[in-house]
Amino acid sequence: MINTGDTTFVLVSVALVMLMTPGLAMFYGGMVRSKNVLGTIMQSFMLLGLISLQWAIFGYSLAFGPDHWGLIGDLSWLGLNGVGQAPNPEYAATIPHQAFMMFQMMFAVITPALICGAFAERMKFSAFLLFSLLWATLIYDPLCHWVWGMGGWMRNLGVIDFAGGIVVHVSSGASALACAVVLGRRQGYLKVPFMPHNLPMTVLGAGLLWFGWFGFNAGSALAAGGLAASAVTVTHLASAAGAVAWVAAEWWHAGKPTTLGVASGAVAGLATITPASGFVTPMAAIIIGLVAGGLCFWGVSLKWKLGYDDSLDVVGVHGLGSTWGLLAAGLFATRAINPAGADGLFYGNAHLLAVQALAVVVVWAFAFGGSWLLLKLVDALVGLRVAPEEEMEGLDLSLHGETGYSLGAPSGAFTPAEALYAAPAPHKPGEGAGHASRALEGGR
């Protein structure tokens, strides 16, 4: 039977996780150069539309539909056929099936949005759309079924992933690495500094991510109860520990603590605790977060040492961080927190650590290799990178005809996008000359 308290809790969690994608847009948007801020933000917002439709039409059925060979769901729920107001006892017995579907939809949306940070400032918009749609269908949906779908082979093996360490973060981190390698470096990378243009925007985005992550992790309990409370607690403590550890690491390494560092450390802690959030104690979460802050700080530095251009540090934060989080679940998980889970190595069960490690290796290989092939296909069909002159001009103007900041524009001048909203040309000399500018001023 439907429990109204559980249903309310999950619906609120849907809203919280949905907010994470605009939060990510701001987090990423502040870190790029000003000429690419709108193009970066638009990618996240566009995925709210594109992947939501993909999920409703066929993605949800592939991810959670009746199992085939432990690898993929079928199309029994095509177009949300049979996904209604009644519960589905296989996944959540106390909430409507549609509530569960919507909660999972928000995970499907934000995962390809995370990947966008790796190819920021240089991918064609058409290539971004095609790659994201193919990636969601051929990488995300099968992974989701392997880990969370009834009959999925990783689920049957005993792999634990409470809220998306494998499905969301390792998959996006491995795919981000493939994107960085296949697309190549931005012009001037390692030769000129690429400074974030609006750190207050980035910190605000990080705050929205931290806020929304309570729904991301606690909502994965699918019920308003003790497990959800435990997930909220460990989520916050790991994020706090990650922020402190990152700042300490960069203060020791570079001599100064930075605002970008504390925001990045908080997100690293969040990404790392995600797979373990329903299985570990608060003190274990602090340890996991402290390691995450230092590990991810070091992981981000690898891109300069190895020469790949992961623009906004998806590999170092999400890929490496959640890899540690999955292994940490194999160490610290305890049935005292979640009887439906498993005990880890520190509670006498070495098998869990072994299957967690196997899952990490398989997902890195699958997501990296699959993304590499999809990128090559998209490149052959529409081309991946913008032209060099478009990259120099910035994607806001060259792809979208907009500018994020027009404070320096000459008085009375229109940007290309603003010109679309100007009044029609006057029929007589001078007729209507002031109408367009007044209309634009009134609309601002």
Q: Which residues pair with 88 in a beta bridge?
A: 92
> 162 and 30 share a domain?
yes
Q: Locate all alpha helices (DSSP H) within 116-225, ordered by sequence.
A: 125-135, 141-148, 153-157, 171-183, 199-218
Cβ contact 359:159 at 8 Å: yes
> 312 and 422 share a domain?
no
Query: Residues 98-114, buried b or exposed e (16+ Cβ, 10 A)?
Result: bbbbbbbbbbbbbbbbb
Q: At 67, is the secondary structure helix, strand, or coil?
A: strand
Distance CA 246, CA 244 (A): 6
More confident residue, 377 or 439: 377
pLDDT at 60: 98
- For 417, the domain range is 410-443
Distance CA 187, CA 16 (A): 37
Neighbours of 76 (CB within 10 A): 11
pLDDT at 425: 44
Count of domains observed in the chain: 2
- For the ranges 89-98, 172-181, 412-421, 430-439, the lowest mean pLDDT is seen at 430-439
pLDDT (tens digit per residue) in 145-190? 999 999 999 999 999 999 999 999 999 999 999 999 999 999 999 8
> 143 and 203 share a domain?
yes
> 353 and 435 share a domain?
no
Work out the pLDDT band at 416, boundaries 50, 70, 90.
low
Tokens of 172: 């996006």
pLDDT (tens digit per residue) in 9-31? 999 999 999 999 999 999 999 99
> 423 and 284 share a domain?
no
The reply to whether 345 falls in a domain is yes
Work out the pLDDT band at 364, boundaries 50, 70, 90.
very high
pLDDT (tens digit per residue) in 348-360? 999 999 999 999 9
pLDDT at 102 over 50: yes
Q: Residue range 229-256: average pLDDT?
A: 97
> 31 and 67 share a domain?
yes
Residue in the structure block whose two tokens are 């949906």? 141
If we measure between CA atoms, which residue out of 382, 376, 369 comes closest to residue 175? Answer: 369
> 424 and 317 share a domain?
no
> 265 and 312 share a domain?
yes
pLDDT at 441 over 60: no
pLDDT > 90 fraction of the chain, expressed in percent and rounded? 90
Cβ contact 17:168 at 8 Å: no
Work out the pLDDT band at 426, boundaries 50, 70, 90.
very low
> 232 and 312 share a domain?
yes
The reply to whether 401 falls in a domain is no
Q: What is the CATH number of the domain that holds 113?
A: 1.10.3430.10
> 87 and 234 share a domain?
yes
pTM, two decimals, is 0.91
> 47 and 191 share a domain?
yes
Q: At 397, is the secondary structure helix, strand, or coil?
A: helix
pLDDT at 190: 87
The reply to whether 386 falls in a domain is yes
Distance CA 349, CA 158 (A): 12
Distance CA 327, CA 237 (A): 18
Length reported for the chain: 444
DSSP string, 294-313: HHHHHHHHHHHHH----TT-
The reply to whether 134 falls in a domain is yes
Mean residue pLDDT across the chain:
92
pLDDT at 395: 97
User: Which residues, at least 6 apart from 285, have a Cβ–Cβ distance to it below 8 Å?
Assistant: 233, 234, 235, 237, 238, 241, 273, 276, 277
The reply to whether 48 falls in a domain is yes
pLDDT at 6: 98
Q: Residue range 92-120: average pLDDT?
A: 98
pLDDT at 65 over 70: yes
> 337 and 415 share a domain?
no
Work out the pLDDT band at 1, boundaries 50, 70, 90.
confident
* CA distances, 183 to each of 45, 70, 360, 371, 418 (Å): 22, 33, 25, 12, 32
pLDDT > 70 fraction of the chain, expressed in percent and rounded? 92
CA angle (162 as vertex; 161, 167 as ends), nearest 5? 50
The reply to whether 399 falls in a domain is no
